[in-house]
Amino acid sequence: MKLDIDREVAALEGMSTGQLCERYAELFGEPVRTRHKRYLVRKIAWRLQATAEGDLSERARRRAQELADDTEVRVMPPRSVQGPTVRVDAAMVSDPRLPRPGTALVRKYKGRQIRVLVLADGFEYEGKHYGSLSSVANQITGTHCSGYRFFKLGAEQ
């Protein structure tokens, strides 16, 4: 009987998602709520194998139920419980390759001297605020490039 299961599982791979949904409903006695093909193939193959070779023993089912009853499973915290508020300082999140706010990054590019001021919440270049060093480098070069590499900072030198 093992060969029949292998053949049926191989046939599942060639089925369309609609056919798999029909097969799922036939085996499980209820419509499926997903159209994810890999999931359907795995679930149907499991059911075919369980039907052919036997499902869990009654003893194993009871033990699984006991374990489930003893375990408090919670996916989300209850709405009534509010966790501690965590304040994140901008200095804590700063990239270690960046100099301190107030520092000017200076570089020559195509005969011009480029000067970018490091701020606590981004960068200033020619009077405009930028959120990342890469966006400043993009503005200067006209192409996407790493801001750290452009200004020769940190490990990307």
pLDDT at 156: 46
Question: Is the pLDDT reported for residue 40 higher than 60?
Answer: yes
Task: Kindly provide the residue ranges of all beta strands, DSSP E only, lying in 21-133, ordered along the sequence.
Answer: 104-109, 112-119, 122-125, 128-130
- Per residue, the 3-state secondary structure of 6-51, as one string, reads HHHHHHHHCCCHHHHHHHHHHHHCCCCCCCCHHHHHHHHHHHHHHH
Question: Is the pLDDT reported for residue 157 higher than 50?
Answer: no
The answer to whether the CB of 23 falls within 8 A of the CB of 12 is yes
pLDDT at 82: 59
Average pLDDT, the chain: 83
pLDDT at 155: 59
Question: Is the pLDDT reported for residue 116 higher than 90?
Answer: yes
- Average pLDDT value for residue range 56-84: 75
- Average pLDDT value for residue range 100-123: 90
Q: One-letter amino acid identity for 124?
A: E
CB atoms within 10 A of CB 37: 15
Question: Is the pLDDT reported for residue 75 higher than 70?
Answer: no
Question: Is the pLDDT reported for residue 94 higher than 70?
Answer: no
Q: What percent of the chain has pLDDT over 70?
A: 81
Question: Is the pLDDT reported for residue 88 higher than 70?
Answer: no
What is the per-residue pLDDT across 129-148, written as a single tens digit (0 to 9) for each? Answer: 998 899 999 999 998 888 88
Local confidence band at 83 (pLDDT 50, 70, 90 cut-offs): low
DSSP state of 98: S
